[in-house]
Amino acid sequence: MSGALCEASPSLALLKYWGKRDAVRNIPATTSVAVGLAELRTVTHVRLLPAKEGADRVLLNGTQQPPARYERFFEALRRTLRTEQRFEAESTNNFPTAAGLASSSSGFAALALASCRAVGADPPLRDLSSLARVGSASAARAVFGGFTILRAGAPAARQLYDESHWPELRVIVCVVEERAKKTASRRAMEASRLTSPYYRAWVRASARAVPNVLRALAARDLQQLGDAARESYLRMFATIVSTHPPIQYWLPSSVEILRECEAMRDEGIGVWETMDAGPQVKLLCVEDDVEEVRRRVETLGATSRTLVCSVGGTPRLSSEER
Ligand code: DP6
């Protein structure tokens, strides 16, 4: 066997991971609860390199990636697989990369799954989640489909429900900026931990929110879940803007969409927003409201495109014989 292909979807947090308990092992300080976004896809092709090749290589959307970003991941991969094998990966996203759409979650999930399959290994999903976490903690969630949880301090995520739990749920991704962001989430969250006077309060408040989010998800109560998701991202941003020096991810067009979302809620339309480390806004609603919500957002002229996503399933994996 000489290669494998994996297609995975990014994991959008409703309750946010922001901050690390252990930066070396990449262990999160807050519990996150997330949903996979079916229509956004990362496709990763992994090939085994001949023994004489000394270094792993990753190509993302046609651009060679800095090896340092992948070093710990590949070391953990070789430890897990008990091999000296080097890998070459080629990855493409059908959505903007490093722009606050969780591309590192689907990227490292697909890389972990395809690399293991390429050597013919089939570790349990728990181990794959733990391996993907070394690359990016949100990727620990993305190795599963449906709804997932990654507990504060935990090495691996687990699935709460598969995609059939809430088939009517939709996430409208409002892309307001196609370009990559200036400050990577990894750097920003470490800056928050080290310098924001609100960081400890964020971690404490986030822990208190967990039972409520789990109840809302179990009951498929969009109002309760939407309110909790808003509270989580806004509190996360309170620690981001209060870092020293401050980091500002929002754009005027992000705020325009937040305001429109508020106006729609006031009119009785069930729509709630969340944001990640970037200017894009994601709107939670049910299938029946998609058309109206999308029309209202597009009328603002604040987006370059809107992408409607349903709940994503398990990553797809295939082997290649050559
Ligand atoms: C705002 O998982 O990209 O999207 O573990 O340092 O790679 P690293 O960070 P990453 O951070 C995701 C942050 C977030 C919230 C979330 O997905 O929970």
Q: In this predicted structure, which of 45-59, 242-256, 271-285, 295-309 has the lowest mean pLDDT?
A: 45-59
Q: Where are the alpha helices (DSSP H) in 94-198?
A: 103-118, 125-135, 137-142, 185-195
**In the predicted structure, residue 11 carries a pLDDT above the cut 80:** yes
pLDDT of residue 106: 97
Percent of all residues in the chain with a pLDDT value above 90, rounded to a whole number: 92
pLDDT of residue 321: 60
Q: Which of 42, 73, 185 to mutate to test the pocket of ligand 1 (most atoms within 8 A of CB)?
A: 185
Instruction: List the structure tokens of 113.
Output: 């799954």
Whether pLDDT at 322 is above 70: no
Residue 267 Cα to ligand 1 middle (Å):
33
Is 320's pLDDT higher than 80? Answer: no
pLDDT at 266 over 80: yes
Q: Roughly what angle, to the nearest 10 degrees, separates helices 222-241 and 199-218?
A: 170
Q: Is the CB of 97 under 6 A from ligand 1?
A: no
User: Average model confidence (pLDDT) for the chain?
Assistant: 96
For the purposes of burial, counting CB atoms within 10 Å of the CB of 179, is it exposed (0-12), middle (13-18) or buried (19 or more)?
A: exposed
Does the beta carbon of 74 sit less than 6 angstroms from any atom of ligand 1?
no
108 lines ligand 1 (CB under 6 A): no
pLDDT score of 1 more than 60: no
Q: What is the pLDDT of residue 135?
A: 97
Give mean pLDDT, residues 268-287: 97
pLDDT digits (tens, 9 = 90+) for 107-116: 999 999 999 9
Q: Does 190 have pLDDT greater than 70?
A: yes
At position 245, the amino acid (one-letter code) is P
| Beta carbon of 25 within 6 Å of any ligand 1 atom | no
> Between 308 and 181, where is the model more confident?
308
Give the model confidence (pLDDT) of 70-84 as tens digits: 999 999 999 999 999
How much of the chain, in percent, has pLDDT values that exceed 70?
99
Cα distances (Å, whole numbers) of residue 188 to 77, 101, 263: 26, 15, 31
83-102 burial: b if 16+ Cβ within 10 Å, else e: eebbbbbbbebebbbbbbbb
Q: From the centroid of its chain, how far is CA 31? A: 14
Mean pLDDT, residues 199-203 taken together: 98
Name, in order, each residue with C-beta under 8 angstroms of 160's C-beta and a sequence gap of 6 or more: 33, 146, 147, 148, 149, 214, 217
**Which atom of ligand 1 is closest in space to residue 137's alpha carbon?**
5
The verdict on the CB of residue 274 being under 6 Å from ligand 1 is no
Nearest residue CA, atom 7 of ligand 1?
Answer: 136
| Tens digit of each residue's pLDDT (9 = 90 or more) over 141-156 | 999 999 999 999 999 9
Instruction: Give per-residue pLDDT as tens, 37-72.
Output: 999 999 999 999 998 888 999 999 999 999 999 999
Beta carbon of 32 within 6 Å of any ligand 1 atom: yes
If you average pLDDT over residues 16-44, what whole number do you get? 97
Q: Is 239 in the pocket of ligand 1 (CB under 6 A)?
A: no
Report pLDDT digits (tens) over 212-250: 999 999 999 999 999 999 999 999 999 999 999 999 999
Q: What is the chain's length?
A: 322
- Identify the three-state secondary structure at position 303: coil
Query: How many Å lie between the centroid of ligand 1 and the Cα of residue 51?
Result: 34
- The reply to whether ligand 1 has any atom less than 6 angstroms from the CB of 138 is yes
Provide the token pair at 2: 């000489």
What sign does the CA torsion over 275, 281, 282, 285 have?
Answer: positive
Q: Which atom of ligand 1 is nearest the CA belonging to 236? A: 1
**Is there an atom of ligand 1 within 6 Å of 137 CB?**
yes
Q: What is the pLDDT of residues 89-99, one digit of tens each?
A: 999 999 888 87
Count of alpha carbons within 13 Å of 280, Cβ hemisphere only? Answer: 28
